[in-house]
Amino acid sequence: MTSAFELKWGILGCGGIATTFTKDILIDTASRDVTDVKHVVVAAGTSSSLDRAKKFLTDCGVPEGTAAAYGSYEALVQDPNVDIIYVATPHSHHFPHVLLALNAGKHVLCEKPFTVNAEQARILFDIAKQKNLFLMEAVWTRFFPLSTEVRELVASGKIGEVKRVLADLSFMNDAENVFPPEHRMVNMDLAGGALLDLGIYALTWVFQILYHLDKDAKTPKVVGHVQKYELTGCDETTTVICQFPRATGIAMTSFRISSDIDEKGAAGPAMRIYGTKGEIQVAHPAFRPGKYRVILPEGAGEWVVKEQVGGGMYYQADASARTIRDGKIECETMPWKETISVMEVMDEMRKQADMPYPEAIESTKH
């Protein structure tokens, strides 16, 4: 038996999602029947203090003495032991932080949304190409076995030709349902707003069906509506209609209402994929899909429930490892042109809503 390919991770930014991701990739791969790749966390870096990086490693359960802690991102990316950097800073900082890692010769997995705008994304992919380094947006949703199964079902023609995809991620993840102006969810200096933070998952469902499965797909025309958050001027409730040549994608998002307010599914499915012969429904939440069902004229199938150990952020890490192991720099589940296309849709929606971010974070200077 050949041994598993080992990928050595450096974590850039020790905040909320970095903790979830790091704990997830430390889960034994055997628990998900994976034997060809494995993950080791060898370093973490923070912009705040060395102690924070040390505490982060301990809190995540990284075995003592197996990982280096750094008090700056610059020092982290220079660690020769690191193969790949996971960028987990606010959206506003993805562009400079991915650049920093690529320029240090590291592969990169960067949190969603990949950048603030499409032009920044194009620049980063060009640099990754020049340097022959792996680069991917961490849209973890696409890598769940459920997403793969739904894409395969659609591709098999089970529900006929898809004419419409309706997807909603509305999610009130603040206890008071009102974010203070400095919170990254609403702070324009950190590229806040529902569209970039949550709407990207509704767009992921639209795109993984209407764009990913169509080899000739191009960025759709866009119309939509944005309601703004009084305190900061970011978007709080947004609907984007993507006009593909033969189908319509409707992506909805909000941080003031919920797709599933009782969290028990009383509201019905959050994603509906409408085909000429049937429909596939997927339950909330869009980012971590747990169950789906197929409805045909003869009746509705049972809900197919997919559970996983931990949060499921490791599926994208496994895909990153396999891509790098195979000597490739672009993962076919999340191709570069698709990340750029989603960014173009969000750029267009923000343009129509007159919602630019500050010049400093829209900047493409590098």
Ligand X SMILES: NC(=O)C1=CN([C@@H]2O[C@H](COP(=O)(O)OP(=O)(O)OC[C@H]3O[C@@H](n4cnc5c(N)ncnc54)[C@H](OP(=O)(O)O)[C@@H]3O)[C@@H](O)[C@H]2O)C=CC1
Ligand Y SMILES: O=C1OC[C@@H](O)[C@H](O)[C@H]1O
Q: Which does 137 bind (CB under 5 to 8 A by kind): ligand X, ligand Y, none?
A: none
In sequence order, what are the beta bridge partners of 357? none
Q: Decide: is 93 part of the binding site for ligand X (CB under 6 A).
A: yes
Confirm if 24 and 311 have CB atoms less than 8 A apart.
yes
Q: Decide: is 111 part of the binding site for ligand X (CB under 6 A).
A: yes
Q: Decide: is 133 part of the binding site for ligand X (CB under 6 A).
A: no
Which among 319, 352, 354, 360 is positioned nearest to 143, based on CA atoms? 319
User: CA–CA separation, 164 vs 209, rounded Å?
Assistant: 10
Confirm if 238 and 256 have CB atoms less than 8 A apart.
no
Q: Decide: is 46 part of the binding site for ligand X (CB under 6 A).
A: yes
Confirm if 273 and 287 have CB atoms less than 8 A apart.
no
Q: Decide: is 17 part of the binding site for ligand X (CB under 6 A).
A: yes
Establish how many alpha carbons lie within 13 A of residue 270's alpha carbon, considering only the half-sphere containing its beta carbon. 31
Which among 280, 251, 252, 284 is positioned nearest to 265, based on CA atoms? 284
**Residue 55 neighbours by CB distance under 10 Å:** 15
Q: Which does 173 bind (CB under 5 to 8 A by kind): ligand X, ligand Y, none?
A: ligand Y
Residue from the set 83, 137, 168, 197 that interacts with ligand Y by CB under 6 A: 197
What would the x/- binding string for ligand X be over residues 139 to 158, using CB under 6 A? -x------------------
Q: For the chain, give the number of residues.
A: 366
Backbone phi and psi for residue 252, each to the nearest 5 degrees, phi listed first: -120, 150
In sequence order, what are the beta bridge partners of 249? 165, 242
Q: In terms of CB distance, is 48 or 177 closer to ligand X?
A: 48
Q: What is the dihedral of CA 154, 155, 159, 161, to 10 degrees?
A: 110
Q: Which does 279 bind (CB under 5 to 8 A by kind): ligand Y, ligand X, none?
A: none
Residue from the set 114, 211, 244, 287 that interacts with ligand X by CB under 6 A: 287
**Which range in 63-71, 87-95, 239-247, 273-281 contacts ligand X by CB under 6 A?**
87-95
What residues from 179 to 218 belong to the interface with ligand X (CB under 6 A)?
Answer: 184, 190, 197
- Say which amino acid occupies 279: E
| DSSP state at residue 35 | -
Note if the bond before 245 is cis, omega within 30 degrees. no
The 10 Å CB-count burial string (b at 16+, else e) for 90-102 is bbbbbbbbbbbbb
Residue from the set 95, 134, 287, 292 that interacts with ligand Y by CB under 6 A: 287
**Shortest separation between residue 50's beta carbon and ligand Y, angstroms:** 27
Q: Decide: is 358 part of the binding site for ligand X (CB under 6 A).
A: no
**Which range in 12-20, 211-219, 227-235, 236-244 contacts ligand X by CB under 6 A?**
12-20
Collect all residues with Cβ–Cβ distance below 8 Å to 328 and sequence separation of at least 6: 134
**Which range in 9-17, 118-126, 302-310, 322-330 contacts ligand X by CB under 6 A?**
9-17
User: CA–CA separation, 133 vs 5, rounded Å?
Assistant: 17
What residues from 157 to 176 belong to the interface with ligand Y (CB under 6 A)?
Answer: 171, 173
Q: In terms of CB distance, is 91 or 106 closer to ligand Y?
A: 91
Q: In terms of CB distance, is 206 or 247 closer to ligand X?
A: 206
Q: Which does 177 bind (CB under 5 to 8 A by kind): ligand Y, ligand X, none?
A: none
**Shortest separation between residue 102's beta carbon and ligand X, angstroms:** 18
DSSP SS3 for 1: coil
Q: Decide: is 236 part of the binding site for ligand Y (CB under 6 A).
A: no
Q: Which does 353 bind (CB under 5 to 8 A by kind): ligand X, ligand Y, none?
A: none
Query: Residues interacting with ligand X, by CB under 6 A?
Result: 13-18, 46-48, 52, 88-91, 93, 111-112, 138, 140, 184, 190, 197, 287
Residues that bind ligand Y (CB under 6 A): 171, 173, 197, 287
